[in-house]
């Protein structure tokens, strides 16, 4: 087309895109072709590639490219057989070769991170020498760090137990207590049965009905020898993000294993061999393909860890993953508080309501709270604040109306 005079820029652009080169390169090819005797095309340098031997050595070194380069300098005949004597690629060349292999999908199986390793005893000794608050006990001995994936729990010498509302459930009012309602008892019974059977339980219900609080209270009632792992998943996580959340829950190096599919899956399957409980709250955030990945982990014949799925509308979420839904052993619904329960539960929840009349509490529940425990916690907070400002305020319908005025249009 160039010889005929019909060549246009659009033709050069198409040729460049098809050949995978820049527009300037195609124009340079055309200029060379117009010469009477085109020069011999240069082959250029062949990119350095890692052999299987070098890749295996890199895995043994924990993915440390600089250590691999030093070994190649020390053992050139073993590392680069067949090359000219004394030739070793530069560190930058080796880094580029490793990046090309990783982009091509080659997996670097690293069982442990190669950096930030430290001797636990030496670290504890250093903390004891510094005597930082919370790192030593009364005898100046280092406080032992709990093992990854195993809840620390209260020691026998601890004067106070852990707070009842842990793991994201907040108390709105000082002096409030967790209440052993009928719903909490049902969740505990379902959880204990499922953990004993090493199956899957789904705790579901509408928002603000106390699912998370009931679940974590039930987990505290399990024997302390049963480890509990809690996975915090983001909104609409992709598979690498879900895998990272699971690795973090078991105390595994998520940063080094997230994008290494085979090594991460093997590490998770090994962690799931031990009896325990894996808790995933807000499971409605997870899409169907990622839920099926959970099913594959649970279906492994070596898995002995129970799976607890919790969330508002979790039962609707699992319908998008019928393979996982069919494996759920227990479906536990957490309903709203019954109207007859409200006065007794509120007086157990906070002593503020000891002086309130049942009629006022029932009227407020019908008009505003409608059995929603989180709404009642908000009402308690506002009523407590009003009483703190004016201790002489009576706990009556007027105080309840004033507290409910802060709930907004949709309490």
262-317, pLDDT tens digit by residue? 888 888 999 999 888 999 988 988 988 889 999 999 888 999 999 999 988 888 88
Q: Which of 153-167, 311-325, 359-373 has the least mean pLDDT?
A: 153-167
**For the CA atoms of the chain, what is the radius of gyration?**
32
150 pLDDT tier (thresholds 50, 70, 90): very low
C-alpha dihedral sign at 220, 277, 171, 377 = negative
Using the predicted structure, report yes or no on whether residue 371 has a pLDDT greater than 70: yes
Q: Please state the rounded mean pLDDT for residues 355-372.
A: 85
Mean pLDDT of 153-179: 52
Please provide the CATH number assigned to the domain covering 182-333: 3.40.50.300
Instruction: Give yes or no for a contact between 309 and 191, defined as CB atoms under 8 angstroms apart.
Output: no
How do strand 276-280 and strand 200-205 relate by DSSP bridges?
unpaired
How far lies 311's CA from each of 50, 210, 374, 397, in Å?
A: 48, 10, 15, 34
Residue 101 confidence class, pLDDT cut points 50, 70, 90: confident
Residue 164 in tokens: 């009842």
- pLDDT surpasses 90 at 372: no
Q: Which of 110-124, 229-243, 313-327 has the lowest mean pLDDT?
A: 110-124
Domain ranges of the chain: 1-44, 52-103, 116-143, 182-333, 339-404
Predicted pLDDT of residue 37:
67
Residue among 197, 165, 209 nearest 310 (CA): 209
Mean pLDDT of the chain: 77
Residue-level pLDDT at 309: 92
pLDDT of residue 165: 44
Query: Among residues of the chain, what percentage have pLDDT more than 90?
Result: 6
Could you tell me what percent of the chain has a pLDDT over 70?
77
Return the closest-CA partner of residue 28 out of 47, 42, 48.
42
Residue-level length of the chain: 411
- pTM summary value: 0.54
The predicted model gives 314-337 an average pLDDT of 88
38-52 confidence digits (pLDDT tens) = 555 554 556 788 888
Q: Which two tokens stand for residue 190?
A: 């379902």
Predicted confidence at residue 110, as pLDDT, reads: 56
* Residues in CB range of 180: below 8 A, 6 or more apart: 217, 348
Does position 23 have pLDDT exceeding 60, yes or no? yes
* Least-confidence region, from 30-34, 64-68, 134-138, 391-395: 134-138
Would you state the structure tokens that stand for residue 141, as one six-digit string? 């001995």
């Amino acid at each position: 087309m160039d010889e005929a005079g019909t060549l246009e820029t659009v033709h050069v652009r198409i040729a460049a895109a098809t050949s995978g080169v820049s527009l300037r390169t195609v124009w340079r090819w055309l200029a060379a072709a117009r010469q009477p005797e085109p020069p011999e095309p240069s082959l250029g340098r062949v990119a350095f590639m890692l052999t299987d031997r070098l890749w295996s050595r890199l895995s043994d070194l924990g993915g440390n490219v600089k250590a691999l380069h030093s070994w190649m300098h020390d053992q050139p005949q073993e590392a680069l057989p067949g090359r000219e004597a004394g030739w070793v690629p530069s560190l930058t060349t080796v880094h580029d070769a490793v990046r090309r292999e990783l982009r091509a999908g080659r997996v670097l199986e690293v069982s442990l991170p190669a950096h930030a390793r430290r001797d636990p005893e030496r670290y504890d000794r250093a903390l004891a020498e510094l005597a930082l608050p919370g790192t030593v006990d009364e005898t100046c001995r280092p406080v032992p760090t709990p093992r990854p994936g195993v809840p620390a729990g209260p020691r026998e010498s601890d004067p106070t137990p852990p707070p009842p509302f842990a793991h994201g459930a907040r108390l709105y009012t000082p002096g409030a207590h967790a209440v052993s309602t009928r719903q909490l008892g049902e969740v505990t019974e379902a959880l204990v049965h499922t953990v004993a059977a090493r199956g899957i339980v789904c705790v579901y219900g509408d928002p603000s009905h106390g699912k998370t609080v009931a679940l974590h209270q039930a987990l505290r009632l399990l024997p302390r020898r049963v480890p509990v792992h809690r996975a915090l998943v983001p909104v609409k996580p992709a598979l690498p993000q879900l895998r990272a959340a699971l690795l973090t829950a078991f105390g595994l190096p998520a940063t080094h294993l997230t994008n290494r599919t085979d090594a991460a899956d093997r590490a998770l399957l090994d962690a799931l061999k031990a009896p325990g409980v894996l808790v995933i709250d807000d499971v409605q955030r997870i899409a169907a393909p990622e839920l099926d990945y959970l099913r594959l982990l649970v279906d492994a014949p070596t898995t002995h860890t129970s799976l607890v799925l919790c969330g508002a509308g979790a039962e609707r979420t699992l319908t998008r993953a019928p393979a996982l839904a069919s494996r759920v052993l227990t479906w536990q619904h957490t309903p709203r508080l019954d109207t007859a329960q409200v006065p007794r539960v509120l007086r157990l929840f906070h002593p503020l309501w000891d002086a309130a009349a049942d009629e006022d509490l029932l009227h407020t529940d019908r008009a505003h709270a409608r059995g929603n425990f989180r709404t009642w916690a908000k009402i308690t907070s506002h009523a407590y604040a009003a009483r703190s400002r004016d201790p002489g305020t009576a706990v009556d319908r007027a105080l309840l109306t004033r507290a409910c005025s802060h709930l907004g249009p949709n309490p």
